[in-house]
Homo-oligomer: A and B are copies of this chain.
Amino acid sequence: MHILITGAAGMIGRKLTARLVEAGALNGRPIDTLTLIDVEAPQKPEKFTGDVVTAAADIGDAATAPAAIAGRPDVIFHLAAIVSGEAELDFEKGTRVNLDGSRALLEAVRTAGNRYRPRLVFTSSIAVFGAPFPDAIGDEFFHTPLTSYGAQKAIVELLLADYTRRGFVDGVGIRLPTINVRPGRPNKAASGFFSSIIREPLAGQEAVLPVDDSVMHWHASPRTAVGFLVHAAGLSSEQLGSRINLTMPGVCCTVAAQIAALRRLAGDKVAARIRRAPDPLVERIVAGWPRRFDPRRALALGFRAEDSFEDIIRVHIEDELGGNIVL
């Protein structure tokens, strides 16, 4: 089993790599080769005994995708993307990477010849949906994204489905909830504050909250997101049918409920490290985002998220903080 990960140096890419190396197998087959690419070269996983190729390569460059699939990986995890805030500020960069880069990968697979038809797991986003919404968004709700990032993800979903229908690739698109708690430094995603308001207080630092406490959103932990990717890789074409793009389950809660969960787990002093500073750009972007889903197909296909936001915080404390909170 040969696996290619694009965006392998990103937060999810690193956790996915670690999970695959730990398991040593995917879909019941031993992993013997990993190809890991990102704009900055991903680190080689230490414990892996098979072959590893790591490369610094921009998926938006025409030469990248054909080179990345030259070794004919059996499974491709396509995670590389310009995040929402940056894609909104830099239209051309977002288009080049999120749209043209994904399309180049699909085209490289299509034109590889010799019936090459890998499983391609694409990380889409709930940003493909745009307000106004019903109370809970069903699996057949339409895509009217209100960011260029969402539009680019929605377009790649359509390409992935058509390439899969025609037999050019064996695709699955999964619409990830907002990943929470993201470890490390904030990135340029407009959704970054959903993590900051948990991560920074738990580390003894102040966090900035740019939106109102009443903002409701859809969350899953990094551990769960990696679980979605691995599960998606193992679904059969028969299980998926023709509608291969799926909204993932998540935890729906308000910012107020996030803060209440933090207070219950870590106390008043930790929760008091959140400072309110409204940001009109972030407020405008987030206002167009979905809040709650009814993801029946994904649940029926066996995808599982956390049960509560407290569980999401517990995953962060376990996976990132070694169980330690700065009180």
Contacts and interface: CB of A to CB of B under 8 A. Distances in A.
Contact of A144 (B144, B161, B166): B161
A140 interface: yes
Contacts of A14: none
A140 B161 CA distance: 20
Nearest to A140: B142
A162 B145 contact: yes
A235 B165 CA distance: 36
A155 B166 contact: no
A289 B142 CA distance: 17
Interface residues of A, number: 22
A151 interface: yes
A91 B169 CA distance: 14
B146 A165 contact: yes
Given A144-B242, A166-B148, A158 B155 contact: yes
Interface string A122-151: 000000001000000001111111101001
Contacts of A105: none
A144 B91 contact: no
A159 interface: yes
Interface centre among A145, A158, A243 (most CB of B within 10 A): A158
A289 to B, nearest CB: 14
Contact of A142 (B142, B146, B159, B166): B142
Interface of A: 91, 130, 139-146, 148, 151, 154-155, 158-159, 161-162, 165-166, 242-243
Closest 6 CB pairs of A and B: A151-B162, A142-B142, A140-B142, A155-B155, A151-B158, A144-B243
Given A151-B158, A155-B159, 14 more contacts: A130-B242, A140-B141, A140-B142, A141-B142, A143-B158, A144-B242, A145-B158, A145-B161, A145-B162, A146-B242, A148-B166, A151-B162, A154-B158, A155-B158
8 contacts: A130-B242, A139-B142, A140-B141, A142-B143, A143-B143, A146-B242, A151-B159, A151-B161
